[in-house]
Chains A and B, each alone.
Chain A
Amino acid sequence: MNIHFKTALDYIKRSPFQALAAVFVLALTFFVGTILAVLVYSSSNVLTYFATRPQIIAFLKDQVKPEQISALQNKLTSDIRIKDVRYVSKEEALGIYKKATSDNPLLSELVSPTIFPASLEFSVSNLSYAQSIIDEMKKEGIVDQVGFTASLGGEKTLQDVVLRLKTVTLYLRVGGGIFVSILFGTSFLVLLVIIGMRMTTRRGEIEILDLIGATPSFIRSPIVIESLIYSLIGVFIGWLFTFIPFLYLAPGIVSYFGEIPILPKDTIGFFILFTAILLIEVAIGTILALAGSMLAVSRARRTR
């Protein structure tokens, strides 16, 4: 075993309560951090879902030729603000109507395909584009009317919902960010204190190593490794304590929210999400440990 790693493990064994304190604080930080990361992911997805959910329906005039429809459809498809362009013929429109009124067959018997206009339906990639696209569509010669629909009850309601979601997401990100920052600050200070204490208790050993020709990096290595051990164990515990409950709750959450992609619906996507969070947290934990230990070591050297 590497001598620095062994030395770091020896330090941990010699003062297990300091080690536990450091690991617990870091685990708590990364536990909350992981939950916040999942919430940010979910809220972002929900926001995108609702923001892109509304469909604009351009009802076409009756005497429009297929090539004119095709030209407009191509134009819409090539527009980066627009996605999921779909042509709905009169027959298909009737089918949709019949399906919607299936509980009352009398209503569907009274209509024929001729009364339903054909239409081009599409979504916008961002809700803010909706109004300008609607205005542009109204100017198209083959378009009779433009409708802005959404399952939540129309443009106004939808905008309200999206606005509210944006506000909630903002609060979540800012509030969560501040909370996690405070926790990170606390973890950093705990690491500083523990490493500082370690430097004090090791002073004699450091002096001896100095006398026999140890370089500063040799002296520093076990301290940095010890700090990394605390941090990475903290990261893993914090992440695991979030991952396991989500692993069990995910199927229920996904089925409860239905189409709203609050969590990845497939297992691979779910694992990719949590692996990405873990990797980011490992990177943050490493930076935290390196910064904390370096600062503690440099402070201790200054006071020698």
Chain B
Amino acid sequence: MPDKGQILFDGVDITKLEVKEIPLFRQKIGVVFQDFKVLPERTVRENVEVGLAVKGIPQDEWQEKVNQILKLAGLFERSELFPAQLSGGELQRLSLARALIVNPRLILADEPTGNLDWKTAIEIMQLFEKVNKEGKTIIMATHNQMLVERLKKRVIDLEKTTPNDQKDKFEDNTEITKEKKEKISSVSGLKEKPIRDKKMKIKIEEV
């Protein structure tokens, strides 16, 4: 929870949600964790199905959706394996597949490459880019500066847990000017407010 400021999602300040509303909010976003957080005693397919079950999607709609996501994540051939039989990269892809299955409006990725080697991390990032190009907004936290440089995406730099600099860059690493920023906002529907006085306000609309 932030010390100050708001976190708005769909116009709702999520820091003020009641406890019983939290699960419903979580169902709207996909989360990818550094330590994967997959269910160890369920198969790849079942891990993805859990996402649908949690959201209350009818069981007869599962197969098609799951197959589609597993193919996207490159796990279709390994769908009957258990997590213990997967590599780190596959586990992270599974985590992403589970996040994507509910068609979230936003994906939060908490150091998704933290436990992966460089080559696998690149593969995961390629998958993230693929998902991003399909229209999903992804907010990713990472310590990996090289990965950030490689991705050439918009960056919010946090130091000592507070944002001290904002580096909005295009893929060619050029700074985003005020005019360009407004243009981006009008195209993507993403309205972003500069960070001032160690306060952070993230507002997401029409993602």
Contact = CB atoms under 8 A, between A and B. Distances in A.
A210 to B, nearest CB: 8
Q: Mostly helix, strand, loop or mixed at chain B's interface?
A: helix
B50 A3 contact: yes
Interface in B10-67: 23-28, 31, 33, 37-41, 49-51, 53-55, 59
B23 A215 contact: yes
Given A3-B53, A218-B54, A212 B41 contact: no
Interface string A199-225: 000001100111111111010000000
A200 to B, nearest CB: 15
A2 B59 CA distance: 8
B59 A213 contact: no
Contacts of B28: 213
A42 B51 CA distance: 55
A212 B59 contact: no
A84 interface: no
Contact of A211 (B26, B41, B49): B26
Contacts, number: 43
A218 B31 CA distance: 19
B93 interface: no
B39 A213 contact: no
Interface string A160-194: 00000000000000000000000000000000000
B37 A213 contact: no
Interface residues of A, number: 16
A218 B56 CA distance: 10
A10 interface: yes
A14 interface: yes
B195 to A, nearest CB: 27
A115 to B, nearest CB: 87
A212 B25 contact: no
A99 to B, nearest CB: 74
Q: Which 9 A-B pairs have the closest CB atoms?
A: A213-B26, A213-B27, A215-B23, A3-B53, A214-B54, A208-B37, A213-B23, A213-B54, A205-B39
Interface of A: 2-3, 10, 14, 204-205, 208-216, 218
